[in-house]
Amino acid sequence: MKVIRYLLAAILAVALLLVLAVGVVLFILDPNDFKPQIEKAVSDHTNLELRLEGDISWSLIPLGIEVNEVEVLLEGERFAAMNKLLAQVDFWSLLAMSPRVNTFVLDGLEAHLVMGPDGQGNWERIMPESEQADDSATPPAPETVADRDASPGTPLDFAVDDVRIINARIVYDDRAAGQVITLEDFTLTARQIALGQTFPLDLGFRFATSEPDFAVRGQISALLFANEALDQFAMRNLKSDFDLSGEPFDGRSHRASITGNLEAHLATETAAISDLSLRFANLRLNTNLNVQGFGDQPQLSGNLELLPFSLRELLATLGQEPVETADPDVLKRIAFATQIGGPAGRVELSGLSITLDDTVFDGSARYGLSDGAIGLTLNGNSINVDRYLPPASDEEETAATPEDTGPETDLLPLETLRALALDINLGLQQLQASGLTISDIAARITADQGVLKVERFGGNLYEGGFNANVTLDARTDNPSWLISSRVNNVQVLPLLQDLAEVDLISGGANLRVDLNTQGNRLSVLQNNAKGEIGFNLAEGAFTQMNLTRMACQGIALANQEALTVTEWGETTRFNDMSGTLKIDGTTLTNPDLVAALAGIRLEGQGTVDTSTSRLNYELGLRIVGDIHSDRACRVSDVVKNVIIPVECRGNFVENPAGLCSFDGSRFRDTLRDIAANIARQRAREEGAQIRQQAEDRVREELEQRLDEETRDRARDAVRGLIRR
C-alpha cells in the first residue's frame, strides 16, 4: 500500500510540476515577442504577408489564446482579416482525454476570394508553385496498424460551452462572369454543444448577388442534436425568417419563413421532415415526408399541400407585370394537394388534386426514379381555355408577313422524346377552346423508346362525336406521323361559326381522315402530307349562296324568258352531299363532289389550297325535275338533264359569300345540249305530223270504195296498218 501511495504522490507531483512549468512559461513569456518570427515563417512558406497588428495573449485556466487585429495580404492585396480570435479549452479536460472547449469567438472575419478572367482563383496562389507541385506529387500516407485497429464506431467525446462567430464577411468576385457574391453580417451563436444532447443554435446573415441585384437577410434558430456515433442528426423547432429584396422583386422587400422539424438516421438510412411549412407572400406550402433508403431506390411517404392563392395578387405583391388574359378574373385561385407514397424506387402521388379557378382535376401520378417513367391519370370538370389567352388587340388582327416570324425552327425536341416513358390518361367533362365547345373528352398518351401515341382521343362536339389516333415515330431525325380520325354527325355550321366566324355551309358532317407525313417543321409536314378525307353531309344547306337561283338563270336563258321572282334568299338546302378529298401536300383535290338538291343534282370537282386558303371549283347543276314555280324556270324536255355551270373561286376565309357564281364561259356547252334537245323534239313532232297526213289520205280513199256497213271496221284496220 505504501508503494501505491508513493506512486500516486509521485504522479501528482509530476502533474503539479507540469502545470507549474506551463504556468511559468505562460506568465514569463510574452507571445507578442514572437510576432516577427511568426510573420516571417508565414512569408517564407507561402505567398501571404501576415500582419499581426493587435495584441496576442494566452491563459492557463482555461487554457486559451487570444489574437487581435490580424491582416493577411496576397500579392499586395487584402486577402483576409480578423478583428479577434479567442479560443479557450478546459485544461483538466485535456488531461482526462475528453476535450471541452470553454469558448470559441471569431469576431470580424473577412475574406476576399477572386476568380480572375483566366479562371484561376486567388486562393490557388497561396502556396508557392514548387510546393504545390510537391504536394500534388506526394503519395498518400501508408495505412498504419493503429489506423487499421481504430474502430470507426468509437464515440467522440467532446463538448463546447460557447461558440460565437460575429460579423463575418466573405466576398466572392468572379471577374470572368461579372458576378459578385457576398456573405456578410454572418453571426452564429451556439451554447452547451455536446454529442448526445440537444443544444440551441442561432444564425444570422445577409447574402447578396450583383447580377441580378438580389439580397436575402436571414435569421435562423433551431435546436440541434447529434449522437455520439455521428450517425443520427436532428433539427427541431426550426424557425427562420428571410427578407428578400432586389431586382427580381422590383426593388421591394418581402418576407419568407420556414418552420418545422428534420431528422436523419444514417445507420438505418431513414429521414423525416415533419410539420414543415414554407410561407412567402400569399403562398403557403405544408408538407410531411418520410424517406427510407438513401440509395438509388428510396421509398417515400407523406403529403404535400399548396394552399389556395391568387397568382395575380402574388405578382402584384412582387411588383411584377400582371398576366394579361382575356378574362381578368382568372388566375385568382390556384391550389395543389396530394398524398406521397409508393414502393422503393418509385414515387406515387395519390389523391392528387389540382385547382385552377373553377376547374378541378383529380387523379394520381407516378414517377420511376431509375427509368424516369411517368404515369398520370387526371380527370377534370370543365375549363375555358379562351379565358386564359391574351386579350385580342387591333394590332394582332394585322396579318404578319413571313419575315415577321423569323427563321423556322424544329417543332419537337427529338432527343427528349426518345428518352420519354409515358402512360397518361386524361379526361375532361367540357373544354372550350378557340370558340369550340367539346364535352366528354378522353385521351390516352403513351411514349416508349421514341414512339409517341395519342390513342382514343375523342369527345362530343356540336351534337356529334369524334375520335382520333396519332402516332409519332421519332426514332429517326426525320420523324414520321400517322393520323387517323373519324367524325360522326358533327353540325358544321355552329362549328365553323365558333371556330373561324365562317358562315358557309350547314349539315351533319361525317368524316373519315387518314393522313401520313414526315418531318419536324411545319412547312415540311405540310409539303409531305399524303392521304385522303372522305366526307358526307346530311340534311344540310349552303348558307351563303342560292344555287336554285343560278339554275333558274340558265333555264330562263334556254326558255328565252326573264325571271319574275326577285327575292331568292341566300340559302340552298340539300339532302345529302358527299365526296373525297385527295391530300397531296398543301393541295386537296376533290374529283367526285355530289349533292342532291330539290330538282337538281349537284356535281363538281376542284381543289383547295390550304397554304393560301383558296378554292377553285367547277360545279354543275344537273336539272332532274321541277325546281321553282317561276314560269321562266319551268323544266321542259328541252332543259331536262342539262347542266347549269357554276364556278367557285377565291379566298374562302376572307370572302366566303362571294365565292360562287353562274359560269357564263361554260354555259356554251349547256346551250349545245339544249339545241340538241330542241332538234330531237322537232324531229319527233314532224314525224308524228307525216304519219297523220298519210292516215287521212288512206282513210278518204277507202271511204269512197266501201259501203256504210264495213266503213268503221276498215277505218280501224287502216289506222293499225299506218301505225305499223
pLDDT value of residue 155: 52
| Rounded CA separation 606/216 (Å) | 69
Q: What is the mean pLDDT of the segment spanning 618-630? A: 81
**Over 50: is that where the pLDDT of 524 sits?**
yes
Residue 73 lies in a domain: yes
* Kind and range of the H or E run holding 646: strand 643-651
Q: Would you tell me how many other CB atoms lie within 10 Å of the CB of residue 713?
A: 10
Residue with cell 347549269: 644
At a CB cut-off of 8 Å and minimum separation 6, what does 143 contact? Answer: none
Digit-coded pLDDT (tens) for 501-521: 666 778 888 889 999 999 999
**Cα 6 to chain centroid, rounded:** 85
pLDDT value of residue 144: 47
Residue with cell 418552420: 259
Q: What is the mean pLDDT of the segment spanning 452-460? A: 91
**Structure confidence at residue 696 as a pLDDT band (50, 70, 90):** low
Residue 623 lies in a domain: no
Backbone angles phi, psi at 62, to 5 degrees: -70, 155
pLDDT value of residue 430: 93
Residue 30 lies in a domain: yes
Digit-coded pLDDT (tens) for 385-421: 999 998 876 554 444 444 455 688 888 999 999 999 9
| Rounded CA separation 631/376 (Å) | 69
**Over 50: is that where the pLDDT of 715 sits?**
no
Helix axes 711-723, 667-705, angle to 10 degrees: 150
Strands 159-174 and 110-115, by their bridges, are parallel
**Over 50: is that where the pLDDT of 356 sits?**
yes
pLDDT value of residue 28: 56
pLDDT value of residue 443: 94
Digit-coded pLDDT (tens) for 196-242: 899 999 999 999 999 888 999 999 999 999 998 889 999 999 999 99
Residue 189 lies in a domain: yes
Our CA angle for 513, 430, 539, nearest 5°, is 50
pLDDT value of residue 428: 94
For the chain, what percentages of helix, strand and coil (3-state, to nearest 5) are there? 25, 50, 30
pLDDT value of residue 243: 94
What is the tally of structural domains in the chain?
2
Residue 50 lies in a domain: yes
> Which of 27-36, 151-160, 178-187, 434-443 has the least mean pLDDT?
151-160
pLDDT value of residue 547: 78
pLDDT value of residue 218: 95
| Rounded CA separation 606/615 (Å) | 8
* 435 DSSP assignment: T
Q: What is the mean pLDDT of the segment spanning 284-304? A: 94
pLDDT value of residue 273: 96
Q: Point out the domain boundary residue: 194, 218, 241.
A: 194
Residue 125 cell numbers, joined: 496562389
| Rounded CA separation 88/101 (Å) | 6
- Domain containing residue 696: 682-723
The top-scoring range by mean pLDDT among 35-44, 193-202, 301-310, 700-709 is 301-310
**Over 60: is that where the pLDDT of 712 sits?**
no
Q: What residue type is 534 in one-letter code?
A: G
**Mean pLDDT score across all residues of the chain:** 81
Q: What residue type is 325 in one-letter code?
A: T
Residue 68 lies in a domain: yes
Backbone angles phi, psi at 685, to 5 degrees: -65, -45
pLDDT value of residue 145: 41
Backbone angles phi, psi at 565, to 5 degrees: -80, 130
**Over 80: is that where the pLDDT of 294 sits?**
yes
Residue 229 lies in a domain: no
Strands 56-59 and 48-52, by their bridges, are unpaired
Contact status, residue 265 vs residue 232, Cβ threshold 8 Å: yes
pLDDT value of residue 643: 80
Nearest to 638, CA basis, from 676, 667, 669, 664: 676
| Rounded CA separation 611/440 (Å) | 32
**Over 90: is that where the pLDDT of 493 sits?**
no
- H and E: helices and strands count for the chain: 13, 32
**Structure confidence at residue 121 as a pLDDT band (50, 70, 90):** confident
Does residue 308 have a cis peptide bond before it, meaning omega lies within 30 degrees of 0?
Answer: no
| Rounded CA separation 716/703 (Å) | 12
* 369 DSSP assignment: T
**Over 60: is that where the pLDDT of 337 sits?**
yes
Nearest to 559, CA basis, from 643, 623, 633: 633
More confident residue, 545 or 67: 67
**Over 50: is that where the pLDDT of 113 sits?**
yes
**Over 50: is that where the pLDDT of 16 sits?**
no
pLDDT value of residue 136: 52
**Structure confidence at residue 10 as a pLDDT band (50, 70, 90):** very low
The top-scoring range by mean pLDDT among 309-313, 398-402, 620-624 is 309-313
**Structure confidence at residue 556 as a pLDDT band (50, 70, 90):** confident
Q: What is the mean pLDDT of the segment spanning 355-362? A: 96
Q: What is the mean pLDDT of the segment spanning 443-448? A: 94
pLDDT value of residue 242: 95
Contact status, residue 639 vs residue 628, Cβ threshold 8 Å: no
pLDDT value of residue 573: 82
Contact status, residue 165 vs residue 198, Cβ threshold 8 Å: no
- Which 3 state secondary structure label does DSSP give 20? helix
| Rounded CA separation 105/671 (Å) | 113
> Which of 107-121, 485-499, 620-634, 693-707 has the least mean pLDDT?
693-707
Residue with cell 479562371: 119
pLDDT value of residue 687: 63
Residue 104 lies in a domain: yes
**Structure confidence at residue 550 as a pLDDT band (50, 70, 90):** confident
**Structure confidence at residue 98 as a pLDDT band (50, 70, 90):** low
**Over 60: is that where the pLDDT of 17 sits?**
no
DSSP per residue over 658-711, as a string?
Answer: TSEEE-STTHHHHHHHHHHHHHHHHHHHHHHHHHHHHHHHHHHHHHHHS-TTTH
Q: What is the mean pLDDT of the segment spanning 329-347? A: 95
Helix axes 667-705, 547-559, angle to 10 degrees: 50
DSSP per residue over 553-604, as a string?
Answer: HHHHHHHT---------S-EEEEEEEEEEEEETTEEEEEEEEEEETTEEEEE
Residue 459 cell numbers, joined: 369527345
> Which of 352-361, 376-385, 506-515, 551-560 has the least mean pLDDT?
551-560
| Rounded CA separation 458/454 (Å) | 10
Contact status, residue 265 vs residue 229, Cβ threshold 8 Å: no
pLDDT value of residue 401: 45
* Kind and range of the H or E run holding 255: strand 253-265
Residue with cell 280501224: 716
| Rounded CA separation 3/9 (Å) | 10
Residue with cell 331536262: 640
**Structure confidence at residue 426 as a pLDDT band (50, 70, 90):** very high
More confident residue, 146 or 549: 549
Contact status, residue 38 vs residue 52, Cβ threshold 8 Å: yes
Q: Would you tell me how many other CB atoms lie within 10 Å of the CB of residue 403?
A: 6
pLDDT value of residue 60: 63
Radius of gyration of the chain from its Cα atoms, rounded to whole angstroms = 48
